[in-house]
Chains A and B, each alone.
Chain A
Amino acid sequence: MEALLATAIAVLTACGVFLILRARTFPVLLGLTLLSYAVNLFLFASGRLHLDAPPLIRAGASYTDPLPQALVLTAIVIGFGMTGYLAMLALRALAESGDDHVDAGKDS
């Protein structure tokens, strides 16, 4: 379980970093999305992994830490808004300069 999660985070981060380093806005956007998925999984794991346990404290029963879940929810909402805004900005740059490079129209 831990190995699976760690591998997933590692692969997502690696792909994300690779895509962020591309020169065009769309791959960069995808890379940021993948990176934020990796970060969300990582945050989720910071409360340790429990199987079949509710995020509620009850006498005797095992429970999972509810706080990282709340943090992940916040991070997802914020990340979604940011990605949406970046997509708009990239489209505007494309419309204004006819070029989808990250530093669009620098030489023109």
Chain B
Amino acid sequence: MRAHLPILPILIPFAAALLQMACTRLAWQRAIGLAATVLLLLACIWLTALSDDGLLRVYALGDWPAPYGIVLVVDRLAAMMTLLCAILGLATLLYASAGFDARGQHFHPLFQLQLVGLCGAFLTGDLFNLFVFFEVMLLASYTLLAHGGGLARTRAGISYVVLNLIGSALFLIALGLLYGTLGTLNLADMASRLAQPGHDAALARLAFALLIAVFALKAGLLPLSFWLPPTYGAAGAPVAALFAIMTKVGIVAILRVQAVALAPAMPDLLAGWLTTLALATVVFAALGALTADRLRALAAWLVLLSAGSLLLVPAAADERVVAAAIYYLLQSTLTGAAFFLVAGLIAVQRGDCGDDFRAGPPTTAWVKLAFLVVAASAAGLPPFAGFVGKLMLLTALRQTEAGTATWIVLLGAGFLVMAALARQGCILLWKPPLERTPQPAAAVTWQRATATLLLVAAAPLLAILAGPLSDYAQRTASQLQTPGAYVAGVLGPPTAATSNGARR
């Protein structure tokens, strides 16, 4: 069991999806989905606890050793990301089970397949396999985005699908170039071959640049980020909340490729341009937040803002910066998802007014309080996790080359976001409706309330646990930043027999 633990985050949701396709009754599908997601959460907690010993767990699928077979590689970062994915999956699935899932067919199997894609993308150590898991994730996300219907979703869906198909084509070209020049698709094997002479260095560099461009498209780096706000803003609340982790897939992929392959072989590939574009993304997202006309659209801009802040990291990657980024990533994903769920609750309570920024029926007090907590955390105000994360990122980035510009842009963006949130929050929650007919706020089902509070609670909890979490982030970063151990762990000492299980 313990030897096969690394595959469980992929197998559990996959088995659940198959089961759900077999029994099509909604009640059964809900039960299977929730049970599978709880199991997934337990498996991910176990995996995260195990991987904290600093060993690299390499799981060879079919027991074909790397670099010939496909391997899953579990280090602290991969385990932590699957855990984050499971927490998010449980909360959003619980929220969706209150009725959103009945608005169209096949919500539950697609949701589980999305989890398969997400977990697989974090765990795999093979770049072609990464492509396959990206596609699983994207195909599920295309259909989840359209779930619930409506022209806005269809229209957002078309540009999202077209853009991602072009991204997939570029991904394949990059993989073809890498295989043509380096003769391998395993990331660790690539790193070791990059260190040896005899390959076409210029072509390999071009291939990695293409690869980074594809990841930047998923992460929402500025010239490639126009798809993100309309797509996330149009999606249903639980779907958008799950999507909050999708930009992070791109960012984690950049961090991983940068640490393992680029830092030793071509450290100057990301220098200069990435930081500039990331700063531009932050400015773009902050200005966009001012233009939003609905709370979910505003939340989508905030997701883009956090992605932009995280993209400042790979170009300046040293251990402290990456550690700060990992904490920031945790809190921004959970806060972003909580924001979408709170927006969903407000929309439910205001009926026809939805989450548009105009006067409407009142919302209950605890929903207002939840909004206050996530808004303060998203704007980076103390005492919540958003403040701690931003502070850590700012102090870590101060010593880097673009330190001053980073401070000015991040603090300015924080101010703009705060202004947008304060103004629109007042209109949304306090402004009385024009007609003086006091209606009671619609009741909130316990699933929606629990799911939302679970994610909202992350903002204060992550701030309280900031000490242990930042220690963990530090350990994660130092493991990520020792590519030698990664390569040796995956490929093994040349003579050793390969088998499943832990290797130092």
Contacts and interface: CB of A to CB of B under 8 A. Distances in A.
Interface of A: 20, 25, 28, 32, 35-36, 38-39, 42-43, 45-48, 67-68, 71, 74-75, 78-79, 81-83, 85-86, 89-90, 92-93, 96-97, 102-106
A43 B161 contact: no
Contacts of A79: 165, 168
Contacts of B142: 85, 89
Nearest to B230: A103
19 contacts: A25-B158, A32-B162, A35-B169, A36-B169, A42-B172, A43-B175, A45-B176, A68-B179, A78-B139, A83-B165, A85-B161, A86-B161, A86-B162, A89-B146, A93-B155, A96-B154, A104-B151, A104-B154, A104-B158
Interface in B167-225: 168-169, 172-173, 175-177, 179-180, 185
B187 to A, nearest CB: 16
B143 interface: yes
A35 B155 CA distance: 22
B24 interface: no
A96 B162 contact: no
B175 A71 contact: yes
B154 A46 contact: no
A82 B162 CA distance: 9
Contacts of A20: 162, 166
Given A85-B143, A89-B154, A93-B155, A46 B180 contact: yes
B287 interface: no
Interface of B: 128, 132, 135, 139, 142-143, 146, 151, 154-155, 157-159, 161-162, 165-166, 168-169, 172-173, 175-177, 179-180, 185
A91 B424 CA distance: 37
Nearest to A40: B172
A36 B170 CA distance: 10
A103 B161 contact: no
Nearest to A48: B180
* Residue with the highest number of chain B CB atoms closer than 10 Å, among A32, A42, A89, A102: A89
B158 A82 contact: no
Given A47-B179, A71-B128, A89-B158, A39 B151 contact: no
A28 B162 contact: yes
A68 to B, nearest CB: 7
Contact of A103 (B132, B155, B172): B155
Given A71-B128, A105-B151, A90 B168 contact: no
By secondary structure, the B interface counts as helix
B178 to A, nearest CB: 8
B172 A75 contact: yes
Contacts of A48: 180
A106 B135 CA distance: 28
A82 B172 contact: no
B69 to A, nearest CB: 12
Interface centre among A48, A71, A103, A106 (most CB of B within 10 A): A71
A80 to B, nearest CB: 12
Given A36-B169, A86-B158, 9 more contacts: A39-B172, A46-B179, A71-B179, A75-B172, A79-B165, A85-B142, A93-B151, A93-B158, A97-B151
Task: Name the residue among B132, B158, B180, B185 with the largest chain A CB count within 10 angstroms.
Answer: B158
Nearest to A96: B151
Contact of A82 (B155, B168, B180): B168
A82 B176 contact: no
A43 B139 contact: no
Q: Which 5 A-B residue pairs are closest in the complex by CB-CB distance?
A: A46-B180, A46-B176, A43-B176, A93-B154, A96-B151
A98 B169 CA distance: 30
A78 B162 CA distance: 14
B154 A102 contact: no
